[in-house]
Chains A and B, each alone.
Chain A
């Protein structure tokens, strides 16, 4: 079983829809990262969080440490949000190593 599971694996939405991407993990963590990989291949860090909620523009990330679950929400989705969204966790223990989920491919149609 992977330590980091993302669902769904693929999602197609219409422009303007509210989108939720889920991430579950099975180990104790010190932080969770959300990353975005553009169709051209570049990877950008969106959020790093260890508790609660963070917001940046139309993106909101939440984490529930007790339930070992995080969600990334996209409000008023746009075709430029089409990308692969990757969840990664930093396990407890002081290591800097991240463990990555397989990613979720989002396509937003106009």
Chain B
């Protein structure tokens, strides 16, 4: 089992560029989440998906879109990147409502 995988691990974007962060899990979990982690702040939920075909906004959804492509995959898209979106992004999955399993993170820098 690979658990939760994320690609890419690192990314540098210019302001205004777009990109998609990919996340996949092989544990047959229903729930998947996208978080961002910034220095001095706790993890903050961007979007989550309780099941295939459903998504819901978290605490900081502005500037992001998500797609729950199937049960395994949950992608996060930045349509027009801004420096304020420089952060470390974590994907997680859960056999809700139990422990969450985290991916290794994507370090994104927007210049």
Contact = CB atoms under 8 A, between A and B. Distances in A.
Interface in B23-76: 31, 40-45, 48, 50, 58-59
B43 A86 contact: yes
B102 A90 contact: no
B8 to A, nearest CB: 14
Given A4-B42, A100-B43, A48 B98 contact: yes
Interface in A77-110: 86, 88, 90, 96-103
Contact of B100 (A4, A41, A42, A98): A98
Given A4-B42, A41-B104, A102-B40, A96 B97 contact: yes
Q: B58, B100, B105: which has the most chain A beta carbons within 10 Å?
A: B100
B99 A96 contact: no
Interface of A: 2, 4, 30-31, 33, 35, 41-45, 48, 86, 88, 90, 96-103
B100 A45 contact: yes
B98 A100 contact: no
B96 interface: yes
B100 A33 contact: yes
Interface in B77-98: 88, 90, 92, 94, 96-98
B45 A98 contact: yes
Interface of B: 31, 40-45, 48, 50, 58-59, 88, 90, 92, 94, 96-102, 104-105
A100 B58 CA distance: 13
List of 9 A-B pairs having minimum Cβ-Cβ separation, nearest first: A100-B42, A43-B102, A45-B99, A100-B43, A102-B42, A48-B99, A41-B105, A96-B96, A101-B42
Nearest to B88: A41
13 contacts: A33-B100, A43-B102, A45-B101, A45-B102, A48-B99, A86-B42, A96-B94, A96-B97, A97-B48, A97-B59, A100-B42, A100-B43, A102-B42
